[in-house]
C-alpha cells in the first residue's frame, strides 16, 4: 500500500487525469501515448501495470480511468505543479509561457511538507499563472464552469481562465497580446464567414482572433 510511485508513473497518472477532464471520460491508449510522447505499446504496458496497482480501471481496447486512489495521486501532483508555477512566475519573474516545463521537473522533487510550506510562502494562491485552480492539501479542487471563448455571444464581457493548447507558439502569441488568465475581454464582433472574433483586451487594444485561437481559450462570463 505504501510504496513509492516513480516519477514516470506519476506522470502517466497526471496525464490520465488531465485527458479525462477531471475523470469524466475514459482515456484511450493512443491519446495517452500522444500526450506523453511514447508509443502506444508502451502506454498499454504501463496501463496494465497501473491497473495492477489499483490506480486505474483499465479494460483492454477501451481505455482507462483513474480510481479514487489514482485521482488523489493526480491531484497531489497537479497541486505541486501549479504551486511551482506560481513560484517561478511571481517570485522568480519567469514569464507565463516558460514555467510549465520547469514545474514539470520540480513537482517530482517535492514532498508534501515542502508543497505545504511553499503554498504558505506564496500566500495561499487560488490559481496558477494560467488561471487553473490549485488543489488544496486534501486534494480538493475548485470546479469552475468555464466555456470556450468561441462559445460566447457578441458584446459579452469575459475573463480568461485558462488555455487549452500547450503549444509554445500559441502561448507566445497570447502572452504578447496580454491574452493571459485574468485578462478582461469585450467581444465586439463575431464574423460569420470565418467565425473570427474582434475583441477589446483589458479595455485597451482591439484585436482580431481566429476561431482556432478562440477555441483554445477557456473563459468565464463576467457580470
Partner DNA sequence: AATAAAATTTAGATTCGTCTAAAAATTTAA
Partner DNA sequence: TTAAATTTTTAGACGAATCTAAATTTTATT
Residues that bind DNA (CB under 7 A): 6, 8-9, 28-30, 37-49, 60-63
**Residue 92 binds its own copies, judged by CB under 8 A:** yes
Backbone angles phi, psi at 205, to 5 degrees: -65, 145
**Residue 153 binds its own copies, judged by CB under 8 A:** no
CA-based nearest residue to 134, from 187, 84, 98: 84
**Residue 123 binds its own copies, judged by CB under 8 A:** no
How far lies 136's CA from each of 41, 47, 76, in Å? Answer: 35, 27, 8
* Calpha distance 185→177 (Å, rounded): 12
Shortest distance in whole angstroms from residue 108 CB to its own copies: 7
**Residue 78 binds its own copies, judged by CB under 8 A:** no
Q: Which is nearer to DNA, 41 or 92 (CB)?
A: 41
Pairing of strands 56-59, 157-163: unpaired
Among 20, 110, 127, 152, binds its own copies (CB under 8 A): 110
Q: Which is nearer to its own copies, 105 or 140 (CB)?
A: 105
Q: Which is nearer to DNA, 45 or 140 (CB)?
A: 45
- Are 182 and 131 a contacting pair, CB within 8 Å? yes
Amino acid at each position: 500500500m505504501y510504496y513509492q510511485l516513480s516519477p514516470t508513473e506519476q506522470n502517466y497518472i497526471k496525464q490520465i487525469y488531465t485527458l479525462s477532464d477531471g475523470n469524466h471520460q475514459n482515456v484511450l491508449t493512443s491519446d495517452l501515448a500522444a500526450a506523453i510522447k511514447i508509443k502506444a505499446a508502451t502506454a498499454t504496458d504501463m496501463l496494465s501495470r497501473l491497473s495492477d496497482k489499483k490506480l486505474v480501471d483499465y479494460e483492454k481496447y477501451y481505455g482507462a480511468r483513474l480510481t479514487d486512489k489514482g485521482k488523489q495521486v493526480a491531484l497531489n501532483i497537479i497541486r505541486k505543479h501549479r504551486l511551482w508555477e506560481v513560484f517561478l512566475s511571481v517570485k522568480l519573474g519567469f514569464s507565463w509561457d516558460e514555467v510549465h516545463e520547469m514545474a514539470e521537473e520540480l513537482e517530482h522533487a517535492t514532498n508534501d511538507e515542502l508543497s505545504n510550506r511553499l503554498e504558505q510562502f506564496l500566500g495561499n494562491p487560488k490559481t496558477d499563472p494560467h488561471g487553473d485552480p490549485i488543489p488544496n492539501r486534501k486534494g480538493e479542487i475548485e470546479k469552475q464552469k468555464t466555456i470556450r471563448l468561441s462559445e460566447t455571444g457578441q458584446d459579452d464581457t469575459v475573463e480568461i481562465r485558462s488555455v487549452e493548447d500547450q503549444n509554445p507558439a500559441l502561448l507566445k502569441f497570447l502572452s504578447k497580446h496580454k491574452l493571459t488568465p485574468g485578462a478582461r475581454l469585450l467581444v465586439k464582433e463575431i464574423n460569420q464567414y470565418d467565425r473570427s472574433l474582434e475583441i477589446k483586451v483589458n479595455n485597451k487594444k482591439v484585436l482580431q482572433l481566429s476561431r482556432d485561437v478562440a477555441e483554445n481559450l477557456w473563459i468565464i462570463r463576467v457580470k
